[in-house]
Amino acid sequence: MLIELKDIRHVYNLDDPVVALENINLEITQGEFIGLIGHTGSGKSTLVQLLNGLLQPTAGQVFFQGQDINADRASLQDIRKKIGLVFQYPEHQLFEETVAEDVAFGPKNVGLSREEREKRVKEALQLVGLDYEEFKDRSPFNLSGGQQRRVAIAGVLALKPEVLILDEPSAGLDPEGRQKLLDLLVYLHQELNLTIILISHRMEEVARLASRVVVMDQGKIALEGTPAEVFNRGEDLKKMDLDLPVLTQILTDLKARGLPVRTDIFSLEKARDEILAGLKKIEKSRESKTC
Amino acid sequence: MLTDITIGQYIPGKSIVHRMDPRIKILITLIKITILFLIDTFWGFGLFLLLVVGILLAAKLPIKRVLRGLKPVFFLVILTLVLHLFLTRGGEVLWQWGFLRIEEAGVFTGFFMVARILLLIMFTSILTLTTSPLELTDGIEYLLKPLARFGLPAGELAMMMTIALRFIPTLLEEAEKIMKAQQARGADFESGNIIQRAKALIPLLVPLFISAFRRADELALAMESRCYRGGSNRTRLHELQLKKSDLILFFLAVIIAVFISFF
């Protein structure tokens, strides 16, 4: 077990308590791609901050590779190296004079040598699709929004984390930027074997990428399962103010109107084939009736 | 941690202190602060503390929260105390070790200054905790109005203050977010000596300033697109009106102030 959350409860502001998380039990294995969804204020962001020790749970324990991460404050640095967290609008954390220095901030903090840092920066920038020679000496503040976001993500990747957590990484990006980002996530997951936890409001992203979906509602885990299992429960999701992926919605509606299609399809091409196949089936049955 | 700072945080309520006219509250606060700097006996400070506690109770404020607001000045308080203890001369020598010497006057002024700082912060935080930022700046604007004749832009000043107060909690929240983001990249804000810590703040301060400027830009745009214009012809939705109880409380406060200053 890579990450294990045990009976987590988290309360903000002890004077005027707000329960953010209650009774959370979650296990994450190496190589999973978790999609974390939930309405605003459901506790997603709190949950991921517990995972690398930025917040300490009010009760319960967080284990990483079998070790209680809050048992020893000194080892937190090590945990943060292994669990990379990309916050919402990560470009707001850029501060250095050049792109290369900003990306090197993490590696510098964990005490890597100059050569190693430069190597990491090159690799990280390459991963996010920015040319090292072209961008290294530019000021991060003169880049476009999408480029800034990629530099910020490179800043986390430069630590070579084993787990990557991203909080709404595609928010505010144009369609092209979003697609590039999702491609990057797929690459990190499949080629570099990173465990990924993705918080997103875009159900399409989650449905397409995640191997497991965790749904949070009012500080609790409300649903959990494969995308097909979770998005099969449209009614429950609606009660939690969550949408279905557009494709699932279309397929479900078509099915309700009598078209024989499966609803657990999350890619456009396959959905098209499924609908065409469904239409053919209907035609066939009509032909056999008229004959 | 950062959210411990109580200045600029308003706790809504319906207590008698909350309902007082903001102008009166500001005036009373000014008078009390003046008094605070005139007091120089233990009795005086004791009475003043009693007064502060009394108002806290009347305002039904969580005392813990007010006390927590004192935490950020802890360093300043200790520094004041130490400087006075060792540097202020006068009276009997109480303790001596080499060139270090503590004298009676140092002990007294040291503790008095500390009491002053703490009570000052407590009293002013009562004002901001019980008065919404809007009321507060309304009050200040009214009080500054007479000075407009001498070219003081009272309305603009008040608007600037409203905005500043309004954005303190927002910026604190932002600071905490950036801090966490940098911590996630292995930044360490909590250990090391003073110079290391100051240096560690750069990754926090640069993004914070940038975001403050961005917010300012956006706010200015939003205000202009709603046709905000400063100047003297602005009217207001809620006119402040003095109530009888406000006047009574004001005179009561003056009497208490005079009384305390006699000790």
Tokens of B11: 């706790």
Q: Is B207's CB within 8 Å of A81's CB?
A: no
The pLDDT score that the predictor gives to residue B6 is 54
- Tell me the backbone φ, ψ of residue A37, rounded to 5 degrees: -125, 165
Measured over the CA atoms of residue A256, residue A257, residue A261 and residue A267, the dihedral's sign is negative
Nearest to B185 among A15, A92, A106 (CB): A106
Q: For residue A1, what pLDDT is reported?
A: 84
SS3 B70: coil
Contacts of A81 in chain B (CB under 8 A): 186
User: How high does pLDDT run on average in chain B?
Assistant: 85
Q: What is the pLDDT of residue B178?
A: 94
Three-state secondary structure call for residue A174: coil
Q: Assign residue B7 a region (left: φ > 0; alpha: ψ between -120 and 50; beta: otherwise).
A: beta
Q: Among all residues of chain B, which has the CA nearest to that of A108?
A: B186
Report pLDDT digits (tens) over B63-84.
887 888 788 888 889 998 888 8
| Burial environment of residue A28 by CB neighbours within 10 A (0 to 12, 13 to 18, 19 or more) | buried
Asked if A87 lies within 8 A of B181 by C-beta distance, the reply is: yes
Question: What's A7-42 look like in SS3?
Answer: EEEEEECCCCCEEEEEEEEEEECCCCEEEEEECCCC
Amino acid at A247: L
C-alpha to C-alpha distance for B113 and B121, rounded to whole angstroms: 12
pLDDT at B1: 47
Mean pLDDT throughout B236-253?
A: 86
CA distance B222 to B234: 18
Mean local confidence (pLDDT), B109-117: 90
Q: Which amino acid is at B225?
A: S
Does the pTM surpass 0.90? The reply is: no
Distance CA B76, CA A204 (A): 54
Q: What is the 3-state secondary structure (H, E, C) of A82-146?
A: HEEEECCCHHHHCCCCCHHHHHCHHHHHCCCCHHHHHHHHHHHHHHCCCCHHHHCCCCHHHCCHH
Closest alpha carbon within chain A to B211: A92
A221 three-state secondary structure: strand
pLDDT at residue number A103: 96
Q: Which of B26, B116, B13 has the alpha carbon at shortest distance from B56? A: B13
Q: How confident is the model at residue A184 (pLDDT cuts 50, 70, 90)?
A: very high
Q: A85 and B184 in contact by Cβ < 8 A?
A: yes
CA atoms within 13 A on the CB side of A162: 14
The pLDDT of residue A289 is above 80: no
- Has residue A82 got a pLDDT over 90? yes
Question: Rounded to whole angstroms, how far apart are CA atoms A53 and A42?
Answer: 19
User: Does the model's ipTM exceed the 0.90 cut?
Assistant: no
- Angle, vertex CA B217, rays to CA B213 and CA B223, nearest 5: 140
Interface of B with A (CB under 8 A): 62, 64-65, 177-178, 180-188, 202-203, 206-207, 210-211
Gap between the Cα atoms of B260 and B52, Å rounded = 12
pLDDT, tens digit, 9 for 90 and up, residues A125-177: 999 999 999 999 999 999 998 899 999 999 999 999 999 999 999 998 999 98
Task: Indicate if the pLDDT at residue B257 is higher than 90.
Answer: no
Residues of B in contact with A156 (CB under 8 A): 184-185
Q: What is the pLDDT of residue A217?
A: 93
Report the pLDDT value the prediction gives residue A282, as an integer from 0 to 100: 87
Helix axes B133-144, B154-184, angle to 10 degrees: 150
Q: Which pLDDT belongs to residue B14?
A: 87
Angle at A170 between CA A42 and CA A144, to 5 degrees: 135
List of domains in chain A = 3-227 (3.40.50.300), 245-291 (no CATH)
Give the start-to-end residue ranges of the domains of chain B: 1-132+239-263, 168-230
- For B183, which of A54, A94, A110 is closest by C-beta distance? A54
Which residues of chain B make contact with A106, given a CB cutoff of 8 A? 185-186
| pLDDT for the residue A73 | 77
> Of the candidates B182, B186, B211, which has its C-beta nearest A159's C-beta?
B186
**Per-residue pLDDT tens digits for A12-56:** 876 668 889 999 999 999 999 999 999 988 999 999 999 989 999
In 3-state terms, what secondary structure has residue B75?
helix
Minimum CA–CA partner of B185 in chain A: A106
Rg value, chain A, Cα:
22
Q: pLDDT of A261-283, one tens digit each? A: 888 888 888 899 999 999 998 88
Report whether pLDDT(B109) > 80: yes
Cβ-defined contact of B186 to A95 (cutoff 8 Å): no
pLDDT range class, residue B3, cuts 50, 70, 90:
low
In angstroms, the CA A197 to CA A36 distance is 7
What is the amino acid identity at position B112? F
- B231 pLDDT band (50/70/90 cuts)? low
A87 chain-B contacts, CB cut-off 8 A:
177, 180-181, 184
pLDDT at residue A245 is higher than 50: yes
Beta pairing, strands A33-38 & B100-103: unpaired
B72 vs A121: which has the higher pLDDT: A121
